[in-house]
């Protein structure tokens, strides 16, 4: 087991790792729309927050020697289904390989974020 940490992604806001690699499988913790330089939430609309989450995911994947094409499953949490269409526009541009996905609306997310994404990738 190997713990993955990227300086180009936000630090964990709790007692967990950005990602853990077991053999050829990488498990990313829920990735938030946090600017890694300021360690604060990108406060804006769903499109801006989704883009920041994707940048953060990309940084962690790169640290593990992977990219979006290695992603086999995502679990997406959004604070309101009214954001679903706008979120999908951002998501589709990055995850062109169309990994398996779940997307659910939740009552609230840490730091009052609009979105959070978990990822499983295989090398």
103 given a catalytic annotation = yes
Instruction: With CA atoms as reference, report the closest residue to 55 among 73, 70, 42, 65.
Output: 42
Active-site entry in 103, 114, 115, 120 = 103
- Any bridge partners for residue 76, and if so which? 103, 117
Cβ contacts of 54 within 8 Å, gap of 6 or more: 90, 91, 94
Task: List the catalytic residues.
Answer: 103
């Amino acid at each position: 087991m190997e713990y993955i940490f990227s300086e180009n992604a936000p630090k964990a806001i709790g007692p967990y790792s950005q990602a853990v690699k077991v053999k050829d499988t990488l498990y990313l913790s829920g990735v938030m729309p946090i600017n890694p330089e300021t360690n604060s939430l990108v406060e804006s609309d769903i499109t801006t927050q989704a883009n920041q989450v994707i940048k953060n995911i990309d940084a962690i994947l790169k640290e593990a020697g992977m990219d979006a094409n290695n992603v086999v499953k995502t679990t997406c949490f959004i604070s309101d289904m009214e954001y679903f269409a706008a979120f999908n526009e951002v998501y589709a541009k990055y995850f062109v390989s169309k990994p398996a996905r779940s997307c659910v609306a939740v009552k609230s997310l840490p730091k009052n974020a609009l979105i959070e994404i978990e990822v499983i990738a295989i090398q």
